[in-house]
Amino acid sequence: MKKLLILGAGTAGTMMLNKLSTALDAREWQITIVDEFETHYYQPGFLFIPFGIYSRRDVVKPKRDFFPPGSSVVMSGIDRIDAAENRVLLSNGMVLGYDFLIIATGAKIRPDQTEGLQDAEWRKSIFDFYTIEGACALADFFKRWEGGRLVVNVAEMPIKCPVAPLEFVFLADWYFTERGMRDKVDIHFVTPLPGAFTKPKASSILGDFLDRKNIRLTTEFAIGRVENASKSIVSWDEIEIPFDVLVTIPTNMGDEAIERSGLGDELHFVPTDKHTLRSEAHENIFVIGDATNLPSSKAGSVAHFQADILTENLLAAIEDRPLRASFDGHANCFIESGFGKGVLIDFNYDTEPLPGKFPLPGVGPFSLLEETKMNHYGKIMFRWMYWNFLLKGLELPIESNMSMAGKRW
């Protein structure tokens, strides 16, 4: 029997397990997946928790519900990949050999990377919403908060779901308006980027949204430290921004196991060929989702598009054929803009988000780069699609590579 090993049973790993269980002949291949936690979190739902729209139970399900029957699953931490010997050492002492390896260990927040972030004020007046614990703690805090300066700060790029911090301030504007206290809350979005978002056209449109919603924007702010006593964030060039509550998106990094294996870059992301999704260092290792160093967005939708490409290329590699499938960096993101509306953006490595209709040219039902109620329903529907289609590796009615049909440019 040949062995295929998948590290990480999050969005990308689970999708690959489902796809490959059908694509590979079970008499020839044994597929094993490893993860340390039993619970699957629907991370896009974390955004809604601080505002009481979702609660914990809306975003959790057992991982095992999404594995095909008879899958070989190992619940353990991953200690280290020994690529020279084609094996993986687990924290429970097991050693798993492989013919092919898929790394899908994702990205996590690292508040420890910024001085003073995880100090006296952590989870008192400093919160994150990229973890279930952070999102729930912030929900409790907001329920009792009487207003003041709300600073939302992105520490460093890249982060997963790069639109989530913007959605957070849009939702905060809505939430405090509904509660009749918007005039008591000063919302301030502080980013290291030169604009509201990474892509110029979307950045200017989303920047206008901030203006209209009376949200302050500070750009090119690179956080150096947090002063807990005076409650302020300070940039490397000593600009100080005071807060009453700080919502931080800390530095995102790949897992420590990647670092221990000597397979990561300075952020522990795995150098990966941006088109074939094969690791740059090893022919029999492929990488998918947030764990890669690709210049595409770190998002579940992106991992979904990558999964089709990866399946094709892995089958080719197994049969020693050239890797023909090529990932184009396709990302498709619903952006919640508050008050029951949303914006949709669709882009890839080379083409920035453009206006138009999606996915059916001229018809929609979704509108690109425009604020509509339908786009908000798209975001809400995404959760249902995620649990019922995406994780199970089933097809969605969207092409893996980006299409220009229906777009205006």
Partner 1 sequence: MTTAELQRDADGHLANRADWNEQVARDIAIEEGLEALTDRHWLVINFMRKEFDARGDAPSIRKLTKESGVDTKELYALFPKGPAKKAAKIAGLPKPKGCI
Q: Which residues make up the interface to ligand FAD (CB under 6 A)? A: 8-13, 35-37, 43-44, 46-47, 77-78, 104-106, 129-130, 160-161, 164, 255, 257, 289-291, 298-301, 303, 333
- Does the CA dihedral 260-264-267-269 come out positive or negative? negative
Angle at 108 between CA 106 and CA 113, to 5 degrees: 140
The interface mask with partner 1, positions 62-91, x = CB under 8 A, is ------------------------------
Q: Report whether 259 contacts 108 (CB < 8 A).
A: no
Q: At residue 364, what are phi and psi to the nearest 5 degrees?
A: 95, -135
In terms of CB distance, is 290 or 371 closer to ligand FAD? 290
66 contact choice in ligand FAD, partner 1, none (CB below 5 to 8 Å, kind-dependent): none
Among 28, 266, 283, 320, binds partner 1 (CB under 8 A): 266
In terms of CB distance, is 21 or 296 closer to partner 1? 296
The interface mask with partner 1, positions 212-231, x = CB under 8 A, is --------x-x-x-------
Helix%, strand%, coil% for the chain, nearest 5:
30, 30, 40
295 contact choice in partner 1, ligand FAD, none (CB below 5 to 8 Å, kind-dependent): partner 1
The interface mask with partner 1, positions 187-216, x = CB under 8 A, is -----------xx-----------------
Q: How far is the CB of 235 from ligand FAD (least distance, A)?
A: 24
Cα separation of the two ends of the chain: 52
Angle, helices 300-318 vs 11-23, to 10°: value is 40
Angle at 68 between CA 66 and CA 72, to 5 degrees: 105
CA–CA separation, 306 and 236 (whole Å): 36
Q: Does 106 help bind partner 1 (rule: CB under 8 A)?
A: no
Q: Report whether 100 contacts 284 (CB < 8 A).
A: yes
Residue pointed to by tokens 């206006």: 355
Residues that bind partner 1 (CB under 8 A): 156-158, 162, 198-199, 220, 222, 224, 235-237, 265-267, 295-297, 331
